Amino acid sequence: MALDPLARDVTIPFPGGNCNCTRGLAETLFGADLGALESNPVPTNVSVRSHQRVRVIGQPATTVGAHNYTYDKYPTALSGLAEGGQPCLVTLNDGSSWTIRVSGPLNEFATFLRDNTTQTGIFFTSQRGTKYGPFTVNQN
């Protein structure tokens, strides 16, 4: 039994969330080179306050001094038994409609779609019926 590679699910991160759809829909919306959508990590600063730490219960506590550190925060997606996000209906310019699951604010997804689509005249409808679009190829 052969599996259609375009029917496999892909998750594409965008600032503030991610979208999950089939690879075929992702290639239609964003082009065949999905690597161009690669997200860069965001440098994140963490400040740790001074606190007490007990290594072995019953032993005296030692003081850990306040300090700062920076790490690269990569985009993440929640996972679990239930799929995250809300289903949205993406309508292409040929009139066909496809389901895409969006985690995060829909206005952020709309901005991401506007900036990265390779199609003309597409829009999406939220689960509540709000229509976003149409979006066209970015001319920048």
Low-confidence ranges of the chain (pLDDT < 50): none
Q: pLDDT at position 140, please?
A: 55
pLDDT at 135: 86
Q: Map out the domains of the chain as residue ranges.
A: 5-40+76-135, 42-73
pTM, full prediction: 0.73
pLDDT at 83: 61
Q: Given this model, what pLDDT does residue 2 score?
A: 63
| Stretch (H or E) spanning 44 | strand 42-48
Residue labelled with tokens 């229509």: 131
Backbone φ/ψ region at 85: left (φ over 0), alpha (ψ -120 to 50), beta = left
Report yes or no: 78 and 84 within 8 Å, Cβ to Cβ: yes
pLDDT the model gives residue 58: 92
pLDDT at 37: 81
Phi-psi domain of 95 (left: phi exceeds 0; alpha: psi -120 through 50; beta: other): left
- Beta strands 97-103 and 9-14, pairing class: unpaired
